[in-house]
Amino acid sequence: MHLDHGHTHHGAVSADAHRPDGTRRALRIGLGGPVGSGKTATVAALCRLLRDTLSLAVVTNDIYTREDAEFLLREAVLPPERIQAVETGACPHTAIRDDISANLEAVEELEDTVGPLDLILVESGGDNLTATFSRGLVDAQIFVIDVAGGDDIPRKGGPGVTTADLLVVNKTDLAPHVGSDLGRMARDAAEQRGDLPVAFTSLRSEEGVGPVADWVRERLAAWTAAPVPAA
């Protein structure tokens, strides 16, 4: 569905950490990164791994289509009512950074219709290395790049690579085929990111998303343990 920007908001939205009834809202994690790096594949794998123990929902952002949502629906990674699509138009970064109202509305609608939720994953439309999420939309963000995009991407930096709460370097299975040096990517990423974590993944196997799932579980544990801030 297309969510236009003129709707009235109801209930708790944005950075507010609780629902109208005072309970803590779902943790919101954004996934951004260049076109085709494996954002949807990561979302699908996380849903399969976490759906039995957590109440989950997904918001996808596509430029002109609903392809990512349709893929997740086809794969039946979650019941259809837990997947919402936002069509962003030409600039996917605008919908996650500057005018976040359509995404906030999608998140809020999910909380209303299928909540209470533990976790909402928000996939950005594929963009460039500068696209990051507003902190008013998500509590933490994952930036997904892949080894086929060139092993100099971590060295080039940019806000996604440098500041994302988790950097995922996906498609490690392709490294030998495209001549990417994983050791070099790890060293460059560490140099750009200091202590911020990096996960190397291949989603060709079921358990490939494991390091990302572990990180999500840690974030969720911290989110749940923190005291609910005053309204």
Ligand X SMILES: Nc1nc2c(ncn2[C@@H]2O[C@H](COP(=O)(O)OP(=O)(O)OP(=O)(O)O)[C@@H](O)[C@H]2O)c(=O)[nH]1
Residues that bind ligand X (CB under 6 A): 33, 35-41, 68, 126, 170-171, 173-174, 202-204
Nearer to ligand X, 55 or 94 (CB): 94
Q: Sheet harboring 27-32: ordered strands across?
A: 83-87, 56-62, 119-123, 27-32, 140-146, 166-170, 198-200
CB of 17 to Mg ion, least distance (A): 28
| Cα angle 181, 183, 189; round to 5 | 105
Per DSSP, what are the bridge partners of residue 166? 142
Nearer to ligand X, 134 or 202 (CB): 202
| DSSP H helical ranges for 115-209 | 153-156, 159-163, 175-178, 182-193
CB of 152 to ligand X, least distance (A): 19
CB of 124 to ligand X, least distance (A): 8
With beta carbons less than 8 A apart as the criterion, state whether 61 and 120 touch: no
H or E element that contains 198 = strand 198-200
CB of 183 to ligand X, least distance (A): 18
Q: Helices 39-50 and 210-225, interaxial angle, to 10°?
A: 70
Tell me if 208 is assigned to a ligand binding site. no
| Footprint (CB under 5 A) of Mg ion, residues 31-70 | 39-40, 68
Nearer to ligand X, 66 or 193 (CB): 66
Tell me if 205 is assigned to a ligand binding site. no
Q: Please provide residue 31's backbone torsions phi and psi, each rounded to the nearest 5 degrees.
A: -120, 120
Nearer to ligand X, 126 or 154 (CB): 126
Nearer to Mg ion, 92 or 193 (CB): 92
Tell me if 34 is assigned to a ligand binding site. yes
CB of 150 to ligand X, least distance (A): 15
Q: Please provide residue 74's backbone torsions phi and psi, each rounded to the nearest 5 degrees.
A: -60, -40
Choose the one of Mg ion, ligand X, none that binds residue 31, judging by a C-beta under 5 to 8 angstroms depending on kind: none
Tell me if 114 is assigned to a ligand binding site. no
Nearer to ligand X, 13 or 129 (CB): 129
4/194 Cα distance (integer angstroms): 40
Binding footprint of Mg ion, residue count (CB under 5 A)? 3
Tell me if 209 is assigned to a ligand binding site. no
Q: How far is CA 142 from the centre of its chain?
A: 6
In the numeric block, which tokens belong to residue 140?
Answer: 């933490």
Residue of minimal CB distance from ligand X? 126
Binding site members for GTP? 33-40
Binding site members? 33-40
What residues make contact with Mg ion under the rule CB under 5 A?
39-40, 68
